[in-house]
Structure 1
Amino acid sequence: MQLLLVRHGQTPSNLARALDSKPPGAPLTEEGHSQAAAFAARIATSPVVAVYASTAIRAQQTAEHIASTHGLDVQVIQGVQEVFVGDLEGKTTEEALKTFIEVYDKWTQDDLTACMPGGESGQEVQARYLAAVEAIKAKHPDGLVVLVSHGGAIRLAAEWLAANVDGRVAKIGILPNTGHVLLEANGDGWQCLEWTGLELMHD
């Protein structure tokens, strides 16, 4: 099976450069809906068998555009929400963004014990996200599954899952709104086939 990890469309928090991690979070802007509709049109002929979304409103609204194109319902799944930033929630200052990046970079370098101030550790993010992916894989052994999630969490999950993705890719591979990462199950592991904006090396 293939798993298409899609970042949600634009939100007011994105425009304000605000750290928005706690569900339900901000909804899509008008532009965000347009981005989601355009992405849905791009994959309209793909063999999508299921569409999942995180518990955040922006992810579910993005997923609705994709699911409706394929006559499917959006399945909301726990565990794939954005990295919980705790005390940094809602902040827009350079200091807050710097703190977020410092902790996030440690995670991409395999220091998963590091924590967002008042928020999650890398270990917690890894445990919940990978458990959700395993549940999806067990339910859908074939076809293409779309999972609408969040930029920070997607980049980490791709690093943890895919044999051909390392921390350097997760660090620099920032996803735009409705950017995506395409993974393919490879035995007990995964291979990354596509990453918006990056050239990947394949085995």
Structure 2
Amino acid sequence: MKLKLVRHAESTANVRKAINTKVPGPPLTDLGKRQAEELAERLRDEPVEAVYCSLATRAQQTAAPVAALHELDLQVIDGVHEIFVGELEDVTDREGIEAYARIFYQWIQGELQYAMPGGESGFEVRDRFVTAITQIRNKHEQEHPDGTVVVVSHGGIMRLGVELLAENVPQASPLSGLIANTGTIELATLDGGGWRCVAWDGFDL
């Protein structure tokens, strides 16, 4: 089974360069809506068996054209929404962004005990994301071993989650920079329950 994680298309918060993590959150921009349609076209020939997305409006709007093209129901699930940043919600200033980056850097060094100020710890993010992805795998792996499952999620949790899930992506990898809107990370299942990262936002691994 192949898992294709997709960052949502451009949102109004992206335009403002704001950290926005609460759900349902802001919608897509007009450009974002076009990006979502282009994503569906890119995935037209993929053997897509299921389409999931986070609780956020921007993720649902991004995933909807993919589900429609493949004549599938869009499944909105808990666990794959963006990292809750607490007191840093909606900040745009350099100080706030650097505070987020300091905590996130500790996480990708394996120090998951630290938390965003008033928000989630790395352990909390890991547990909900891994649980959600494991449930998706358990549901689809046997029934569609050669199929693709699309999960539209968010840049921060995708970067951290994949580095924790996949055996071949080292922590603090240079590939773990900002993922573009509608950028993808592709994972393949391994025997025994693990994952292998096969592509990271345009880079084949």
TM-score category by the smaller chain? over 0.9
- 2:83 maps to 1:83: yes
Cα distance in structure 2, aligned partners of 1:36 and 1:191: 26
Cα deviation, residue 65, structure 1? 1.1
Cα distance in structure 1, aligned partners of 2:12 and 2:70: 28
Structure 2 residue identity aligned to 1:157: G
Maintained 8 Å contact 1:9/1:177: yes
Cα deviation, residue 75, structure 1? 0.2
Alignment of 1:92-171 (within 5 A): 92-141=92-141, 142=144, 143-169=147-173
Alignment of 1:163-202 (within 5 A): 163-169=167-173, 172-187=176-191, 188-200=193-205
Structure 1 residue identity aligned to 2:160: L
Classify 1:177/1:22 alpha carbon distance in 2 versus 1 (closer, same or farther; 3 Å): same
Cα deviation, residue 22, structure 1? 0.7
Structure 2 residue identity aligned to 1:30: D
Map Cα deviations across residues 84-112 of structure 1 (whole Å, 9 max, x no partner).
00000011010000000000000000000
Q: CA RMSD in A?
A: 1.1
Maintained 8 Å contact 1:23/1:57: yes
Name 2:42's counterpart in structure 1: 42
Cα deviation, residue 173, structure 1? 2.9
User: Unpaired segments of 5 or more residues in structure 1?
Assistant: none
SS of the residue 1:165 aligns to? coil
SS of the residue 1:13 aligns to? helix
Cα deviation, residue 198, structure 1? 3.4
SS of the residue 2:22 aligns to? coil
Maintained 8 Å contact 1:156/1:170: no
User: Unpaired segments of 5 or more residues in structure 2?
Assistant: none
Cα distance in structure 2, aligned partners of 1:170 and 1:70: 34
Cα distance in structure 1, aligned partners of 2:95 and 2:175: 19
Maintained 8 Å contact 2:11/2:28: yes
Cα distance in structure 1, aligned partners of 2:45 and 2:58: 24
Structure 1, 53-62 or 161-170: larger mean CA deviation: 161-170
Map Cα deviations across residues 36-76 of structure 1 (whole Å, 9 max, x no partner).
11111011011000000000000000000111110011100
Map Cα deviations across residues 114-133 of structure 1 (whole Å, 9 max, x no partner).
10000000000000000000
SS of the residue 1:81 aligns to? coil
Cα distance in structure 2, aligned partners of 1:108 and 1:36: 29
Cα deviation, residue 199, structure 1? 4.7
Maintained 8 Å contact 1:173/1:198: no
Structure 2 residue identity aligned to 1:64: A
Name 2:62's counterpart in structure 1: 62
Query: What's the % identity of the aligned pairs?
Result: 46
SS of the residue 2:50 aligns to? strand
Structure 1 stretches of 4+ moved >3 Å: none
Residues paired across the two proteins, number: 200
SS of the residue 1:168 aligns to? coil
